[in-house]
Structure 1
Amino acid sequence: MSVKSVAAKIFANIIHRKTQKWVQNPIETQQKVFQNLIASADFTQFGRDHHFSKIKTFEDFAKQVPIRDYEELRPYVDRVVKGEQDILWKGKPIYFAKTSGTTSGAKYIPLTKESMPFHIEAARNAILSYIHETGKTAFVDGKMIFLQGSPILEEKNGIKLGRLSGIVAHFVPKYLQKNRMPSWETNCIEDWETKVDAIVEETFNENMTVISGIPSWVQMYFEKLEQKGNKSVGDIFKNFNLFIYGGVNYEPYRAKFENLIGRKVDSIELFPASEGFFAYQDSQKDKGMLLLLNSGIFYEFVKSEEFFTENPRRYTIGEVELNVNYVLIISTNAGLWAYNIGDTIQFTSLKPYRLIVSGRIKHYISAFGEHVIGKEVECALKEAMENSNIRVNEFTVAPQIAPASGLPYHEWFIEFENEPENLEEFALKIDNEMRKQNTYYYDLIVGKVLRTVVISKVSKNGFQDYMKSIGKLGGQNKIPRLSNDRKIADLLKRA
């Protein structure tokens, strides 16, 4: 065992003990975070406008601070972007994470000197948690790649801005610099396809042990490796045994990845966003990711079914239940207050608090009152593919409310790697699984309001071509699993 491996084990044990202190005291931990946030922002413009000096309890906070999304918080953010101080948080942010919004154009998410360390520590602790549980450390002696956005940063009114993954690239610890790939020059390439080609060339002959990124874009990297080497990724990288991912559910990609790699590899799921690093997978045995309750973020939860009502109840960590779909609401040490990030989650465990990401509150299908969410379509596809050689590269689902003939239906756009022999039979399997997942959908099918699922095949690389056509190829961008309209569907139809 190398010196680095021994050191990694020791460090992993230390971090595990520190983590357990707050894991064992979740409610007290969140209360302390809440109090610190309110006290720290008391004198800010937002704090004065919402009477932070009078807030003593969460109930006070809920009365004073309504739930907002980016567009609703934007008047404050715009002042921060202009360079004003003490608006949402003390002083100025040290960075803006620039993301693309659907209704508000570019979004500028503040990152402060208080919030930035938690983004770095959470990613590190996810790996250390894996080491503590499994005892596996050999990978620390190999090369690691993190497929991410360009680290080149712009500047706006004295504050640097860029993609979150590009900002994080500036904080890679020194002890990982020699192991980290790709090179800085390659990482700075803006065009995604050109960048992936360069990464393939740089990494092909290296001892890659850890690979990380959004599954859909890592898949492109793997396919190009396979084409270059004319053999599986596992044969090219014989010591590759750990895949780290976030952003989308890995399950729809798992069979395809195992085929590309040629074997199973361990994986760690992360739940990062520009607004904060919320959770990571802390166990290879138990389902879900550990919610990070001690990372400068105070969490609230609103039941999805109640979210669009006039005054939905806001729950704190001690009040949540298992297997309920919640909208995740955050208040952070970057100055986001009762902020709706748009993700929905479900708890898989309450001791400790572990969760899965179930979808997006705006990415759903309810054209007929069915309330279908991302977790349900992903699970239905996974079950329909079980014990078969069918493999799917990518998919999305949209309602067809006005077909040329017959009843309306849900249309599944699927790019197959291995197609089913009988497409209609496969569609029926998906439909049967959807009925198990969603009782509203079951009632609509049985009541002959909807007909069963219709599959439309997407040609090879069709989704990549679609993302390229809208300027969102690579980086942190991903295909929505669900749309309640036909915008994506109609573009895929025309492709």
Structure 2
Amino acid sequence: MSIKAVGARIFARIVKHRIKKWASRPEATQEKVFRELIDQASKTTFGKDHDFENIRTHKDFTARVPIRDYEGLRPWVDQVVEGREDVLWPGKPIYFAKTSGTTSGAKYIPITKESMPFHIEAARNAILCYIAQTGNANFVDGKMIFLQGSPVLEEKNGIKLGRLSGIVAHYVPPYLQKNRMPGWDTNCIEDWETKVEAIVDETLPEDMTVISGIPSWVQMYFERLQQRTGKKVGEIFPNFNLFIYGGVNFEPYRQRFEGLIGRKVDSIELFPASEGFFAYQDSQKDPGMLLLLNSGIFYEFIRADEFFDENPQRLTVGQVEKNVNYVMIISTNAGLWGYNLGDTVQFVSTDPYRVIVSGRIKHFISAFGEHVIAKEVEQAMKVVSAELEVKVREFSVAPQLNVEDGVLPYHEWLIEFEDIPQNLDLMAKRLDEEMQKQNSYYFDLIAGKVLQPLKVTPVRHDGFNGFMKKMGKLGGQNKVQRLANDRKVADGLSEFLA
């Protein structure tokens, strides 16, 4: 074992001990974060507008600061974008993470000198937790690839802006610089397909040990490697044993990945966003990701089934229950207050607090009151594809209400297969049975003849990539919408059907 690997193991034990200290005192940790956030922002425009000077408790906070999404917070964000100081947080942000909103156009998410270190620290600590638990640190001597957006940044009123992954690329620690791939010039390529080919050229001769990125785009990279060499990824990179991912649930991709790699590899799940780094997988044995309670973020949770009520109850971390679907609300040291991130989570542990991402509050199907969420369709796909030995590349689900008179509506599953199975009816039947097991509302609608069983529509090979390219969302941090209550994605895929 190299000196670098030995040093990583020692540092990992130290960091793991620090994490255990705050994770074992969750409510006190969050109370401290809450108090610091309110105190530091009390003199800002937002703080004065919401009487931060008189906020002493969470109850005071909820009485003064309503839940807002980006559009609701936009009057203050626009002032920050114009260059004003002390609006949402003292001073000015050091970056804007630019994201594309579905209703807001371009969104500018502030990143401050206080919030930026936590993005970097969380990614590092996720790897250190893995080392502390497994003892595996040999990968630090090999090459590591992080599939991400371009690090080229623009500037707006003196503040640099770009994709979060591009911003983070500027903070790779010196001890990883020699190991990190791809090179700067390759990383700056904007066209995703051209970029992937360049990454293949650059990495093929190297000893890759860690590969990281959104699963759908890493899958594309793996497929290009295999097309170029005719070999499994595990043969090309015999020391590749750690996959780090975030952004989407890996389970629907796992079977396909293991086929491309040729063996199983360890994985670490992350929960990052432009608004903050919220959780990471701290254990290879226990499910879920450790919620980061000590990272400049104060969390609130609203039951998803109450979210659209007039005054839903806003819970703190000490009030949540396991296996309940919650909308996650954040207030941060980047100046987001009572901010609806849009993600839904479920707690799988409260000692320590670990979560899984269950979907998006806006991404569900409830055309008839069934309220089907992403976690349910992904679990059904995981079970059925493994049972029938079917390899699924990508899929999306939508309601189909446009049916002939006398015909019941249904859920349409648009699926891109590695090889289209001969018996699609059997797959549809099994998927429907799994959905009925998980969702009692869906079961009642099928049993009551309000809905007919779901139907599977095969999408042609590379059809989802074609759809994403047409939408201008191929690669980077963009993700396929897993399900929707409308037909926008489904209709967009109509020209890419098998």
TM range (shorter): over 0.9
Aligned to 2:476: 475
- Say whether residues 1:430 and 2:431 are aligned partners: yes
CA displacement at 1:184 relative to structure 2? 0.4
- Say whether residues 1:315 and 2:335 are aligned partners: no
- Say whether residues 1:284 and 2:284 are aligned partners: yes
Q: How many residues align?
A: 495
Distance (Å, rounded) in 2 between the aligned partners of 1:187 and 1:408: 46
SS at match of 1:386: helix
Aligned to 1:160: 160
Distance (Å, rounded) in 2 between the aligned partners of 1:212 and 1:494: 31
CA displacement at 1:383 relative to structure 2? 1.0
User: Is there any run of 5+ residues in structure 1 with no aligned partner, and where?
Assistant: none
Q: Which amino acid aligns with 1:54?
A: N
- Say whether residues 1:28 and 2:28 are aligned partners: yes
User: In the TM superposition, what whole-angstrom CA distance separates every residue of 1:309-353 from its partner, at most 9, and x where no partner exists?
Assistant: 100000000000000000000000000000001000000000000
User: In the TM superposition, what whole-angstrom CA distance separates every residue of 1:134-155 from its partner, at most 9, and x where no partner exists?
Assistant: 0001101100000000000000
SS at match of 1:226: helix
What is the correspondence of 1:70-81 to structure 2 with a 5 Å cutoff?
Answer: 70-81=70-81
Aligned to 2:121: 121
Distance (Å, rounded) in 1 between the aligned partners of 2:76 and 2:418: 47
- Say whether residues 1:184 and 2:195 are aligned partners: no
Distance (Å, rounded) in 1 between the aligned partners of 2:243 and 2:488: 33
**8 Å contact kept, 1:389–1:418:** no
- Say whether residues 1:339 and 2:339 are aligned partners: yes
Aligned to 2:82: 82
Aligned to 1:301: 301
CA displacement at 1:402 relative to structure 2? 1.9
CA displacement at 1:28 relative to structure 2? 0.1
- Say whether residues 1:359 and 2:356 are aligned partners: no
**8 Å contact kept, 1:302–1:312:** yes
Distance (Å, rounded) in 1 between the aligned partners of 2:188 and 2:333: 29
User: In the TM superposition, what whole-angstrom CA distance separates every residue of 1:38-63 from its partner, at most 9, and x where no partner exists?
Assistant: 00000000000000000000000000
What is the correspondence of 1:407-422 to structure 2 with a 5 Å cutoff?
Answer: 407-422=408-423
Aligned to 1:106: 106
**8 Å contact kept, 2:481–2:489:** no
CA displacement at 1:469 relative to structure 2? 0.4
With 377-386 and 245-254 compared, the bigger mean Cα shift is at: 377-386
Distance (Å, rounded) in 2 between the aligned partners of 1:259 and 1:87: 51
User: In the TM superposition, what whole-angstrom CA distance separates every residue of 1:348-373 from its partner, at most 9, and x where no partner exists?
Assistant: 00000000000000000000000000
- Say whether residues 1:242 and 2:247 are aligned partners: no
Q: Which amino acid aligns with 2:378?
A: E
- Say whether residues 1:490 and 2:498 are aligned partners: no
Q: Which amino acid aligns with 2:408?
A: L
Aligned to 2:380: 380
SS at match of 2:445: helix
**8 Å contact kept, 1:89–1:334:** yes
SS at match of 1:222: helix
User: In the TM superposition, what whole-angstrom CA distance separates every residue of 1:234-279 from its partner, at most 9, and x where no partner exists?
Assistant: 0000000000000000000000000000000000000000000000
- Show structure 1 runs of 4+ deviating over 6 A: none
Aligned to 2:229: 229
Q: Which amino acid aligns with 1:434?
A: M
User: In the TM superposition, what whole-angstrom CA distance separates every residue of 1:220-242 from its partner, at most 9, and x where no partner exists?
Assistant: 00000001111100000000000
Distance (Å, rounded) in 1 between the aligned partners of 2:403 and 2:482: 21
Aligned to 2:449: 448
**8 Å contact kept, 1:226–1:260:** yes
CA displacement at 1:389 relative to structure 2? 2.1
**8 Å contact kept, 1:408–1:451:** yes
- Say whether residues 1:461 and 2:462 are aligned partners: yes
User: In the TM superposition, what whole-angstrom CA distance separates every residue of 1:149-193 from its partner, at most 9, and x where no partner exists?
Assistant: 000000000000000000000000000000000000000000000
User: In the TM superposition, what whole-angstrom CA distance separates every residue of 1:431-484 from its partner, at most 9, and x where no partner exists?
Assistant: 000001100000000000000010110000000000000100000000111110
Aligned to 1:370: 370
CA displacement at 1:388 relative to structure 2? 3.2
CA displacement at 1:403 relative to structure 2? 1.3
Distance (Å, rounded) in 2 between the aligned partners of 1:187 and 1:122: 22
Distance (Å, rounded) in 2 between the aligned partners of 1:335 and 1:277: 14
CA displacement at 1:83 relative to structure 2? 0.2
**8 Å contact kept, 2:255–2:386:** no
SS at match of 2:88: coil
SS at match of 2:190: coil
SS at match of 1:298: strand
- The percent of aligned pairs where both chains have the same amino acid is 70
SS at match of 2:418: strand
CA displacement at 1:386 relative to structure 2? 2.4
Q: Which amino acid aligns with 1:31?
A: E
Distance (Å, rounded) in 1 between the aligned partners of 2:234 and 2:120: 29
CA displacement at 1:493 relative to structure 2? 1.3
Distance (Å, rounded) in 2 between the aligned partners of 1:217 and 1:386: 22
SS at match of 1:243: strand
Distance (Å, rounded) in 1 between the aligned partners of 2:388 and 2:366: 30
- Say whether residues 1:263 and 2:263 are aligned partners: yes
Q: Which amino acid aligns with 2:244?
A: I
**8 Å contact kept, 1:41–1:90:** yes
Distance (Å, rounded) in 2 between the aligned partners of 1:152 and 1:364: 35
Distance (Å, rounded) in 1 between the aligned partners of 2:402 and 2:460: 24
CA displacement at 1:401 relative to structure 2? 1.1
Distance (Å, rounded) in 1 between the aligned partners of 2:436 and 2:387: 20
SS at match of 1:150: coil
**8 Å contact kept, 1:182–1:203:** yes
Aligned to 1:45: 45
Aligned to 1:146: 146
What is the correspondence of 1:45-64 to structure 2 with a 5 Å cutoff?
Answer: 45-64=45-64
CA displacement at 1:494 relative to structure 2? 2.8
CA displacement at 1:419 relative to structure 2? 2.7
**8 Å contact kept, 2:226–2:232:** yes
SS at match of 2:393: strand
| RMSD over equivalenced CA pairs, Å | 0.6
With 398-407 and 282-291 compared, the bigger mean Cα shift is at: 398-407
TM-score (norm 1): 0.99
**8 Å contact kept, 2:395–2:482:** yes
TM-score (norm 2): 0.99
